[in-house]
Amino acid sequence: MGRLAIEDMLNHADIESALDWHLRGNHFPPIHSDFFPAAKLAIEHCNDRRGQTPIELPNGLTRTAWQIVEGLHLESFLALDHDDEGWY
C-alpha cells in the first residue's frame, strides 16, 4: 500500500476519511488518532507554502509542517506540484 492506494482513496472518499485510513491502516504500527489534527494542519500549511511552520505534536515534540508531511508520508495529500520550486 502506498501512493497509488492513497490517490485511489482520495478519489473515492473525503480527505478526512482518506487521511484516517492512511494513518491507521498504511503505517505499522498505526499512527494514533491524536496525531490526526497535526497531520491535517501540516498538509494545509504545505499547501499554503508554509512548510517551515512549526507544529506541536501530541507527544510534546515540535516539527515543521514539511517534516510531518515527509515523516508521515503525506505527499499524496498535497495539492501542489512537487516540482514547483518553493512548495514546501
- What are the Cα distances from residue 54, in Å, to 22, 41, 42? 22, 10, 9
What confidence tens digit (pLDDT) does each residue in 68-87 have? 999 999 998 998 665 555 55
What's this model's pTM, rounded to 2 decimal places?
0.82
Span 9-59, pLDDT tens digits? 666 678 888 899 889 988 899 999 999 999 999 999 999 999 999 999 999
Which H or E run contains 18?
Answer: helix 15-25
